[in-house]
Amino acid sequence: MHIILYIQELLNIQEFEIPEFFRFIEETSKAMGDRFEWFCVDLLRRYFERLGIKVTHTGYQFRGPNDKGQDIIIEICRYKGVIQCKAWFAKYISRKEVDEFRSVVGDGKFDFEVVVGVLEEKISDKAYTSAEKSEHDIIVTTYRNMC
């Protein structure tokens, strides 16, 4: 069982309304990516912090171009997870992104990882397959399904 499902079951988490993430006309990819990270941080904080789960934004704005995809860190009891946010409307989240991000969990600092996209149709089947076949606990999802 994925760690997130286990924790949701333990905490008996109730659902809440999730706002829509929109792409702004003439917004740069960088600006949209930064905004999506903050959007996800806000969702996670609203959803999890009231339960005592720590949510820390650690992405590009704080660590620069060598953030290794570690956009958000969440700490749940004794578990530590890392989230990579992909605000991609034109490109697909593919197996390549999951495979590259896997090394972040592979270093032993994290118990699970989550790759979060905007649109379900922009996540390839191969990304899901790569996550499922990984020896690490990797979740590929959209922001609407991460909470």
Is there a contact between 113 and 101 (Cβ–Cβ < 8 Å)? yes
Q: Classify residue 12 as left (phi > 0), alpha (psi -120 to 50) or beta.
A: left
> pLDDT tens string for the chain (147 positions)?
465 566 556 555 556 678 889 899 999 988 999 999 999 999 999 888 888 889 999 876 666 666 677 899 999 888 899 999 999 998 999 999 998 888 776 676 888 889 999 999 999 999 999 999 888 788 899 988 876
Domain limits of the chain?
A: 3-10+42-145
State which amino acid sits at residue 77: C
- In angstroms, what CA-CA distances link 133 with 93, 97, 118, 127? 16, 14, 23, 10
Assign domain 3-10+42-145 one CATH number from 3.40.1350.10, 1.10.3720.10, 3.30.2320.30, 3.40.190.10. Answer: 3.40.1350.10
Place of tokens 């990304």: 127
pTM reported for the whole predicted model: 0.83
